[in-house]
């Protein structure tokens, strides 16, 4: 399960930093840094033992993961004290919705028989 978290960390970080930047959170480098901070907090919580309870390839597991991630990452953005709370929670919600969609697409693709890491096997 740890490899799944590590594999998903970079794509989610890139998607969420892009969302922060496009929502006028900050410049692109600052948005990347803030996305790194908020995702590190979520990742740390998952590694400390919450991961098996809230992550799975089912819609319910993805919903729990998204809710957990939204709460943690929104709190981290609030602690940065850079923007209005409405913008903070809008950024956190949008970033996590797109991050969960990314995970859902990856899970859907990996559930197709014969597909492994984006390559089709002949048998």
Q: Is 119 helix (H, G, I), strand (E, B) or coil?
A: strand
Cα 109 to Cα 61, 67, 69, 76, 95: the distances in Å are 17, 23, 22, 31, 21
Q: What is the pLDDT of residues 48-74, one digit of tens each?
A: 766 666 655 567 777 787 888 899 999
Q: Which residue range forms the structural domain that includes residue 54? A: 2-120
Distance separating alpha carbons of residues 49 and 43, to the nearest angstrom: 10
Contacts of 104 (CB under 8 A, 6+ apart): 62
Q: What is the pLDDT of residues 2-37, one digit of tens each?
A: 555 567 788 888 999 999 999 998 899 999 999 999
Confidence class of residue 1 from pLDDT cuts 50, 70 and 90?
A: very low
Q: Where are the alpha helices (DSSP H) in the chain?
A: 2-22, 28-45, 51-54, 59-80, 85-110
Q: What is the pLDDT of residues 78-123, one digit of tens each?
A: 998 778 899 999 999 999 899 888 877 877 777 777 766 544 444 4
Cα 34 to Cα 2, 18, 29, 78, 82: the distances in Å are 23, 11, 9, 11, 10
Confidence class of residue 46 from pLDDT cuts 50, 70 and 90?
A: confident
Q: How many domains does the chain have?
A: 1
């Amino acid at each position: 399960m740890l490899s799944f978290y590590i594999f998903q960390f970079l794509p989610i970080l890139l998607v969420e930093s892009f969302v922060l930047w496009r929502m006028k959170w900050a410049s692109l480098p600052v948005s990347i840094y803030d996305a790194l901070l908020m995702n590190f907090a979520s990742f740390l919580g998952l590694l400390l033992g919450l991961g098996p309870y809230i992550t799975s390839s089912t819609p319910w597991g993805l919903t729990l993961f998204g809710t957990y991630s939204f709460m943690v990452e929104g709190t981290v953005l609030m602690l940065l004290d850079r923007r209005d709370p409405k913008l903070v929670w809008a950024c956190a919600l949008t970033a996590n919705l797109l991050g969960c969609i990314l995970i859902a697409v990856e899970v859907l693709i990996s559930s197709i028989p014969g597909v492994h890491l984006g390559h089709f096997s002949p048998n």
